[in-house]
Structure 1
Amino acid sequence: MSVFKHHAKLETNVFFLAVGILLSVIVGGLVEVVPLFTIESTIEKVEGVRPYSPLEQAGRDIYVREGCYNCHSQMIRPFKDEIERYGHYSLAAESKYDHPFQWASKRTGPDLARVGGKYTNDWHVRHMINPRDVVPESVMPGYPHLMRPLNYAGIAGNLTALKVVGVPYTDAQIMNAKKDLEEQAMSDSPDAAVLKSYPKAKMGDVDGNPKVVTEMDALVAYLQVLGTMVDFTTVKPEKIYR
């Protein structure tokens, strides 16, 4: 009973209560931060992860603008049911160039971390225009307005801003941003120059209008690259997490 009496004194004394809260926060913070100084890096080293191409980045900006993250996460947790449904659990390295990351906090729709290559471009276009054309039970709204032309006049500036916060775009990539964006959206050549800077970028028109780069072209290019950069047949979890 004496313990409870002392505890009551602590709770009813503003000064001691404030000191107790401060000490709790300090100890909790140290427990979280100190272990980080004992490891080489908080992000595992994984081959294949690269910055988004200009077209993919434009598509990602549209994804964020339209609030897709409100219903779709991009984080597969290391649980059996999630791995069986969506694929390999998400790696921290896959989000290291995301500003902001798209882990999200809920799922009204499926997780999209591995959606790249799962469906055809035509499926994505039909799904975005009227989701019930391909998924009858879908509650997702349609986005037919994405067929409008993409405004990419400031794409070089976008890459420059991302470089400031740590995304390793080169000066050449920034200078060629507009050209690379147009080439990815309008060409399907396997020898396209954009592929040298951005391996595994999905090439070609997706919406049936190769003469105009649309927001749909950009968004589908972004969706089609998600989860495709890393070769998960070579990823060994026991070697990544020591």
Structure 2
Amino acid sequence: MKHDNIERNLGILLVLTMLAISAGGLVEIVPLFFIKETVEKVEGVRPYSPLELRGRDIYVREGCYLCHSQMIRPFRDEALRYGHYSLAAESKYDHPFQWGSKRTGPDLARVGGKYSNDWQTQHLNAPRSLVPQSVMPNYPWLLKTDLDYSDIELRMKALRTTGVPYSLTQAEYDRNVKEFGEDVAKSLHIPDAEKNLVAQAQLGNYDTDPGKLSEMDALVSYLQVLGTMVDFKKYDDDYFVKFR
């Protein structure tokens, strides 16, 4: 009888509905304020180096995310084709993340190291020379265009405000040494960004032209790091192992 009265009285029903929603919301939301991090820490994940970061910006600029996703779902067919499913921690330093919404081309979450620098450069320059059935457009200007990295420090400072642990002070640098190791910490130090960017490009020779620092260098360096930060042998669980 009381239940019938509540349903017939719009005012009472509205108030009780709001109370129920509020109680449920509090139960779901309040605990999050007491959790230091909602993303589980995974060993190996680090922020991008200056060259990789510049390459990521070019990746976004060219709209690569419109045809390629970077999110392997925990399904049998995904695991068989691409490898271990994507971990949330892999995207913790991505602003914005590159999960994508469709796949005209393959998922790129594990593309790092799968092909050589030569292959990546040729594929970006003229895709059908390597994959005849590809519908990917040519990107010849990446080889011809000198990489502009004059604002790399500003880009890193902007990401620093979002929580990406690029360092400006000695204390922040020491924190990164403890968190990521000295070699990685050096690459995350903003005052040395330009020097580190050039050094990585020269060492990696990503565009196969040692005498030129091009946009191709940056983009290939970014592609070659995707999926390589985490040793997935440590994170193979029963769910993934049974798909092998």
TM-score bracket, shorter-length normalisation: 0.7 to 0.9
> Quick one: distance in 2 between partners of 1:28 and 1:107?
37
Aligned residues: 216
Whether 1:156 aligns to 2:153 is yes
Query: 1:39-188 alignment to 2 at 5 Å?
Result: 41-147=37-143, 148-171=145-168, 173-187=189-203
- Cα displacement string for residues 11-65 of structure 1 (whole angstroms, at most 9, x for unaligned residues): xx9x999989977975775575356468663211110001100000000000000
- Tell me the SS of whatever aligns to 1:113: coil
Whether 1:227 aligns to 2:227 is yes
- 1:194 corresponds to: none
Q: TM-score, normalised by structure 1?
A: 0.78
Letter in structure 2 aligned against 1:109: G
Letter in structure 2 aligned against 1:206: Y
> Quick one: distance in 1 between partners of 2:71 and 2:237?
16
Q: 2:72·2:84 contact (CA, 8 Å) conserved in 1?
A: yes
Cα root mean square deviation, aligned = 2.8
> Quick one: distance in 2 between partners of 1:44 and 1:145?
40
Change (3 A) 1:38 1:212: same
- Cα displacement string for residues 120-174 of structure 1 (whole angstroms, at most 9, x for unaligned residues): 1111111101111111111110101111110001111111111111010122610
Letter in structure 2 aligned against 1:102: Q
- Tell me the SS of whatever aligns to 2:156: helix
Q: 2:118·2:208 contact (CA, 8 Å) conserved in 1?
A: no
Stretch moving more, 173-182 or 28-37: 28-37
Stretch moving more, 103-112 or 163-172: 163-172
Deviation for aligned residue 1:181: 0.5
- Cα displacement string for residues 207-227 of structure 1 (whole angstroms, at most 9, x for unaligned residues): 232122100000000000000
Change (3 A) 1:29 1:137: farther
> Quick one: distance in 1 between partners of 2:74 and 2:62?
28
Q: 2:156·2:166 contact (CA, 8 Å) conserved in 1?
A: yes
> Quick one: distance in 2 between partners of 1:62 and 1:81?
30
Q: TM-score, normalised by structure 2?
A: 0.78
Query: 1:207-218 alignment to 2 at 5 Å?
Result: 207-218=207-218
Letter in structure 1 aligned against 2:216: M
> Quick one: distance in 1 between partners of 2:13 and 2:141?
56
Which sections of structure 2, spanning at least 5 residues, go unmatched? 1-5, 169-185, 239-244
> Quick one: distance in 2 between partners of 1:219 and 1:179?
18
Letter in structure 2 aligned against 1:218: A
- 1:192 corresponds to: none
Identity %: 62
Which sections of structure 1, spanning at least 5 residues, go unmatched? 1-5, 188-203
- Tell me the SS of whatever aligns to 1:176: helix
> Quick one: distance in 2 between partners of 1:135 and 1:129?
12
Stretch moving more, 48-57 or 204-213: 204-213
